[in-house]
Structure 1
Amino acid sequence: MTLLKLTRPTGLLASAARLALGLLLALGLAACGAAAVPTYNLTAPANFQAGGGGSGQLLVVAPTALAVLDTDKIVVEPGGGQVTYLSDAQWSDRLPALLQARTIQAFENGSKLRRVARPGDGVNADYQLVTDVRAFGLRITPEGPMAVVELSAKLIGAQSGRILAAEVFKARVPAAGTSGEVVTLALDQATDQVLVALVRWASRRF
């Protein structure tokens, strides 16, 4: 090992060196003290039948969402109009991107059509599925913690641009507590309910 001999800085140089050293120590301590937040995923529902026998092709557009939901953080509504986030859990991606991926997989798992893609895949689609995330998170209710998922959906003719059908899908699943593990499990179960209903609804229309 080669040792470097350092000369002692003086004056302004010494002050700058002390400041830099202090900043490095502060950053190092902050990095050491910051614990990694556990990351959770949503699963796509499987082993269900959606029906439908048409030949249409569907594009699933990434859902829109307010800024509070357009994140990888997990929303908690303690009441009184307040919104916060779980400190011990996060999603594996931004919620709209995650929901888009799981919606496509749900169509592939439950629909006999399997002609589903996302914008940019080069598919000449007949229909577009446009969704908006109205609610997605843990809500503290008088009955206890509740995982709440609510999506509004519109099926749009790709050529005409007309709304062919519209529906709102909701699910509420009690959570066994407020820890990240149990909250994400309840949200996953609520998402499954919503996606199965959405896929069945849309598949009957193309």
Structure 2
Amino acid sequence: MRIIALPLILSLAGCSTLGALTAPARGVYELLPADDSPRQCARRTGTELVVETPKTRSTLDTDRIMIRPGALEAQYLPDAQWGDSVPVMLQTLLVRGFARYDAFSHVGRAPLGAAGDYALISEIEDFNAEVSEAGPQVRLTVDAQLVREGDARVAARSRFAVTRPAASTKTADLVPAFDAAARDLTAQITAWGLRAMGTGCR
């Protein structure tokens, strides 16, 4: 998974508050899949998979990068942000992860017709860095369900939790830890979904 840092251009025209005029520019980071190369499966199912935008609480439904100094406190890195909101960024990673496999007729954020064959529904519990006695680490936790669209039955459900240590709470150390954790998380969810849909993919 590569990380792209994009320049952030702030327009200060019309700002009337001192806070807006003195706000520091933030680097913009984007998590990308490590590999987009096509993968062949044992059989082609022609399945259509819809990856819905993950749900989460308001403190994570943002493009800010969260860090927790304590269990009940949420702060954001002052000098960095994601290129998309956390739910949209994870949705993109999952769409690209599943779309690599030729077992599917379509993988996307919405069905081609009235409905797809399966919908991946998820909720983000953690997508943040935290400070503990063991040192800073990144924690990602997602609850996922695979639902058959035809009868709205849950075909599979699971909980995924990944942690990765970081050398410090500096942006330069935290972003690579997010990258490693997100790579592991999306790989786990993709492998689980492929098995649950009986694709024969590995």
- TM-score of the aligned structures, taking structure 2 as reference length: 0.80
Please point out which of 87, 99, 103 is paired with 1:113.
103
Counterpart code for 1:65: T
Deviation string 1:129-157 (CA, Å, 9 cap, x unpaired) is: 00100100101121110011111110001
Counterpart code for 1:66: R
Deviation string 1:33-68 (CA, Å, 9 cap, x unpaired) is: 332111111112426969574332100000000001
**Does the CA contact (< 8 Å) of 2:54 and 2:124 recur in 1?**
yes
**Does the CA contact (< 8 Å) of 1:52 and 1:205 recur in 2?**
no
Counterpart code for 1:176: A
Residue 29 of structure 2 corresponds to residue 36 of structure 1: no
What's the counterpart of residue 154 of structure 2?
A: 163
Please point out which of 179, 183, 189 is paired with 1:198.
189
The 3 A distance-change label for structure 1 pair 25 and 50 is closer
Counterpart-to-counterpart distance in 2, 1:51 and 1:194: 21
**Does the CA contact (< 8 Å) of 1:45 and 1:195 recur in 2?**
no
Counterpart-to-counterpart distance in 2, 1:95 and 1:150: 12
Greater C-alpha radius of gyration = 1
Q: What is the deviation of 1:195?
A: 0.4
What's the counterpart of residue 101 of structure 1?
A: 92
**Does the CA contact (< 8 Å) of 2:55 and 2:87 recur in 1?**
yes
Higher strand share: 2
Counterpart-to-counterpart distance in 2, 1:116 and 1:52: 18
- TM-score of the aligned structures, taking structure 1 as reference length: 0.79
Counterpart-to-counterpart distance in 1, 2:97 and 2:41: 13
| Greater displacement, 49-58 / 196-205 | 49-58
Q: Which runs of 5+ in 1 are unaligned?
A: 1-23
The 3 A distance-change label for structure 1 pair 25 and 148 is closer
Counterpart code for 1:55: G
**Does the CA contact (< 8 Å) of 2:24 and 2:79 recur in 1?**
no
Counterpart-to-counterpart distance in 1, 2:128 and 2:140: 7
Counterpart-to-counterpart distance in 2, 1:191 and 1:27: 39
Identity %: 27
Residue 142 of structure 2 corresponds to residue 146 of structure 1: no
**Does the CA contact (< 8 Å) of 1:50 and 1:199 recur in 2?**
no
What secondary structure is seen at the aligned counterpart in 1 of 2:93? Answer: helix
Counterpart-to-counterpart distance in 1, 2:159 and 2:41: 20
**How many residues in Structure 1 have an aligned counterpart in Structure 2?**
182
Q: What is the deviation of 1:84?
A: 1.1
Counterpart-to-counterpart distance in 1, 2:170 and 2:131: 13
State the superposition RMSD in angstroms: 2.5
Please point out which of 24, 48, 51 is paired with 1:57.
48
Residue 67 of structure 2 corresponds to residue 76 of structure 1: yes
Q: Which runs of 5+ in 2 are unaligned?
A: 1-12, 198-202
Counterpart-to-counterpart distance in 1, 2:168 and 2:161: 21
